[in-house]
Amino acid sequence: MKQLLYLLLTVTLFSSCFTNRRHQVEKQCDYSVKVVGISDGDTFKGVTDDSTIVRFRIYGIDAPETKQAYSQKSKQYLSDLIFNKRVNISVQKPKDRYGRPIVWVYTPDGKDVSAEMLKAGLAWHYKEYDKSDEYANFEKVAKKNKKGLWQDNNPTAPWDFRKNARNKRQK
């Protein structure tokens, strides 16, 4: 009976840290943070249990850059999903070139934040780094239904926007 109670308690405590992502083996979250800042549609700041503020990059998506159309809507949508909430984090890569951990993020009720951003049409699937059919399909459906940034006839992907900006600076 004691073992059954322990098992039930363990499953309950960690259930929000599991994901059913088809392209990934189920994975337990590494830790949780309280979200204290939203930089843009794919980057946020969270406070860990030891009061460290960490800037995180969300895995699998790329949101519009600050000077792009839908940037503010993307940032606001992410804010509505996670700001001032305790979210679960699963580290995909310890650091990107800017020193940010690249993470899967889950809302308090277990929603995959990357998936939610893609479904809303407020981020691109970052196919260069994530090859999942699941995320590709979320983007495809949002595009078909002209959600968010897909309302524009020819939206510019953030990686192309950044490349064009670099090219202009070099001239």
CA-closest candidate to residue 112, choices 28, 18, 38: 18
Residue with tokens 């690249």: 102
State the Cα–Cα distance between residues 96 and 130, nearest whole angstrom. Answer: 14
Q: Name the catalytic one among 100, 116, 134, 139.
A: 100
65 as an active site residue: the answer is: yes
Backbone torsions φ then ψ of 81, nearest 5 degrees:
-75, -40
100 as an active site residue: the answer is: yes
Q: Are 81 and 27 spatial neighbours (Cβ–Cβ below 8 Å)?
A: no
State the Cα–Cα distance between residues 121 and 67, nearest whole angstrom. Answer: 17
CA-closest candidate to residue 41, choices 127, 119, 123: 123
Q: Name the catalytic one among 21, 65, 134, 139.
A: 65
Q: Name the catalytic one among 57, 116, 134, 139.
A: 57
Backbone torsions φ then ψ of 46, nearest 5 degrees:
-135, 155
Q: Hey, which residues are catalytic here?
A: 57, 65, 100
